Amino acid sequence: MNRATPSRFRGSAPLLLTLLLSTILLMAGCQASSQPAPAVTATPATAIMVQPEPDAPPYLDPTLPIAQRVDDLLGRMTLAEKIGQMTQVEKNSIAPPDITGLFIGSLLSGGGGYPTPNTPENWLAMVDGFQENALQTRLGIPLIYGVDAVHGHNNVKGATIFPHQVGLGATRDPDLVRRIGQATAAEMAGTGIPWNFAPVLAVVQDIRWGRTYESYGEDAQLVSQLGAAFLQGLQGDNLAAPETVLATPKHYVGDGGVTWGSSATYAIDQGDLQVDEATLRAVHLPPYEAAIAAGARSIMVSFSSWNGTKLHADRYLLTDVLKGELGFDGFLVSDWQAIDQIPGDYYADVVTAINAGLDMIMVPYDYRRFISTLTEAVEKGDVPMARIDDAVRRILRVKFELGLFERPLADPALLAQVGSESHGDLAAEAVRQSLVLLKNDNAALPLDRETPVIFVAGPAADDIGIQSGGWTIEWQGQAGPITPGTTILDGIQAAVSPVALVHYDRSARFDDLTDAGGTPAVADVGIAVVGEHPYAEGQGDSASLAVSEADLTTVQRLRERSKTLVVVLISGRPLIITGILDDADALVAAWLPGSEGGAVADVLFGDFPFTGKLPFTWPRTAAQLPFDFANLPEIGCDAPLFPYGYGLDARDTQPLDLPECGDLEADAAAATQ
């Protein structure tokens, strides 16, 4: 079955010619005040390359060692040019002439930060337009543009949306994750973006956190292995290659272990990691050690705190441990406006963050204030010039490693990578491997293609936005047909034989389906697709992890109208499912499958086996959270509902045997009071 999304974008010839011509004219008109401007040439393959003039300074000579190029360029820079390199601005907040006038070193798109209309071609034109402003500066230092491509190039309509990291954690497949990294990098390169704020390396200890789905799991070894694989896929063997991008392991360090109720802003997001250093090093630091060993060149610092000290102010963890002990010689970037959360006034925030070891600050709005404040701090001696030079040296080194000075503009030929058929096939493969079979009584699965009547219910069955979750087109995600792809209902309809009848009703009423005598029709199989609606950081924190009343009603209605009931759970983490477990003959954790949700049906109907294993321990009630993993019971009502690593094969026909534990739903509700 072809899993390619319906619409795949290709480059627009008039747009590409316009980009090439405008770039050449702009660069030809540039006049540097102290050395010749680099010349722009278009190769026969349409890749835009910068060729230095014969008398160009050493930093423009690609044959020289990067260290020599960095030294030469750094020695030519004024304080204003250096601080500009340390400044990252949100793209909707920048006045393009300020990129040139203030020597801005980086721009970003936050979640939902797309051009209008949201097409790959417009992304390419937007990013290259910003870059052209940077190339007009005295020294012609290119911008580095960043995005949160956390499960594919997820801000771009028409890009391939892969399963979120929680689903990839269930696959236990580093090679698959590496290939997804490669595909994501290729699609980013197609829109001219060289920097990805991913992967998340949080080792999540409390699944009530709204960013749980951005993590590979609760085990440090699993997170280390898969995080390094994704990083290697993004960066490849040569960071300067056209289809590779810079990875950014985040959020350093311990954001997955913060304490419920410790956040000043949310329930748990951006909270306080309240553990000793031995625990921090044993649980939360290993993924960063693995990432550095795999070639990490930028790392994003966490909003969270460690025992009351904001990570953005923690010189010990940023400089002594990360840069010193672990030998990280890339650059550190702050999170969104995160230095503002450091206690004290803004001047103190800037001084503290830079002296703690931050190299680039995601401002993201009032960049003039940041630049003037840091300039004042240097002039007063509160931030040493040596610290500025160290930060800028780190940033420039990575820009040279990326080949930005030789290829500052996008290669339009790479536009064909965005949402390509091969990437859709890879996403479908990931969906199939991520599914975890939790229950399969009476050999309910796999389903027979010739099942006479199938009822499908639940809003998530036919909704790409719900099945993709947060960080999809919009920051918090959004229900509806927000991007091309295949839904779970599409997959079911394509999988059945012509003799089977598939009926869909979001709320499982099926009022118009009766027999000749007016009796409500009963399906041979009912498939309820229920679960969480999209959310992202902060707004996704949940004390109850409860399945909604509407979804519980849908399951109950479909149970009454079906001989066999299969429940497919769409969620970014384990939910409290005691209210639906007894009703279901089979229950599948499908996580957040992304744009190729139709591939879920490939496993339901037996084309592929269930191979997924739980990346998180599944609670019986919310009252059990957070788990004490060192003292976790294996049996009885105090034990988890399903242990870490659990996952059935469809050949397992033994009925699920759970202890009688009273009113678990009431217990869960009481835990939230």
Q: What is the DSSP letter of 157?
A: T
Question: Going edge to edge, which strands form the sheet with 87-90?
Answer: 195-196, 144-147, 106-109, 87-90, 361-362
Residue 90: pLDDT band (50, 70, 90) is very high
pLDDT, residue 652, reads: 76
Residue 347: pLDDT band (50, 70, 90) is very high
**C-alpha span between 200 and 624 (Å, rounded):** 25
pLDDT, residue 660, reads: 86
Q: What is the pLDDT of residues 382-435, one digit of tens each?
A: 999 999 999 999 999 999 999 999 999 999 999 999 999 999 999 999 999 999
pLDDT average, residue stretch 36-44: 36
Is residue 28 over pLDDT 70?
A: no
Is residue 668 over pLDDT 90?
A: no
**C-alpha span between 390 and 316 (Å, rounded):** 17
Is residue 27 over pLDDT 60?
A: no
Q: What is the pLDDT of residues 218-245, one digit of tens each?
A: 999 999 999 999 999 999 999 999 999 9
Report the sign of the C-alpha dihedral through residues 48, 52, 58, 59, in that order. negative
Residue 52: pLDDT band (50, 70, 90) is confident
Residue among 413, 411, 408 nearest 27 (CA): 408
pLDDT, residue 582, reads: 95
Are 429 and 180 in contact by the 8 Å Cβ rule? The answer is no
pTM of the model: 0.92
pLDDT, residue 8, reads: 24
Alpha-helical regions (H) of 191-243: 220-235
Count CB atoms within 10 A of the CB of residue 142: 22
**In the chain, what percentage of residues exceed pLDDT 90?**
88
Q: What is the pLDDT of residues 460-487, one digit of tens each?
A: 999 999 999 999 999 999 999 999 999 9
- The full DSSP string for 126-156 is HHHHHHHHHTTSSS-PPPEEEE--BTBSTTS
Is residue 32 over pLDDT 90?
A: no
N residues, the chain = 673
Is residue 3 over pLDDT 50?
A: no
Q: Is 186 exposed, middle or buried (0-12, 13-18, 19+ CB in 10 A)?
A: buried
pLDDT, residue 644, reads: 98
Q: What is the pLDDT of residues 580-610, one digit of tens each?
A: 999 999 999 999 999 999 999 999 999 999 9
Tokens for 208, please give them.
């009530």
Backbone angles phi, psi at 305, to 5 degrees: -120, 165
Q: What is the pLDDT of residues 175-198, one digit of tens each?
A: 999 999 999 999 999 999 999 999
Q: What is the pLDDT of residues 489-548, one digit of tens each?
A: 999 999 999 999 999 999 999 999 988 888 999 999 999 999 999 999 999 999 999 999
pLDDT, residue 49, reads: 66
Residue 68: pLDDT band (50, 70, 90) is very high
Rg over alpha carbons for the chain, rounded to the nearest Å, is: 26
The alpha carbon torsion through 111, 116, 120, 125 (nearest 10 deg) reads -110
Are 438 and 650 in contact by the 8 Å Cβ rule? The answer is no
Residue 22: pLDDT band (50, 70, 90) is very low
Is residue 21 over pLDDT 80?
A: no
pLDDT, residue 475, reads: 98
Residues 6+ apart with CB under 8 A from 229: 174, 175, 177, 178, 181
pLDDT average, residue stretch 363-376: 98
Residue 656: pLDDT band (50, 70, 90) is confident
Buried b (16+ CB within 10 A) or exposed e, 453-475: bbbbbbbbbbbbbbbbbbbbbbb
As annotated, the active-site residues are: 335, 537
Residues 6+ apart with CB under 8 A from 25: none
**C-alpha span between 463 and 590 (Å, rounded):** 14
Is residue 256 over pLDDT 90?
A: yes
Residue 48: pLDDT band (50, 70, 90) is low
Is residue 6 over pLDDT 80?
A: no
What is the 3-class SS of 381-424, one letter each residue? Answer: CCCCHHHHHHHHHHHHHHHHHCCCCCCCCCCHHHHHHCCCHHHH
Q: What is the pLDDT of residues 113-145, one digit of tens each?
A: 999 999 999 999 999 999 999 999 999 999 999
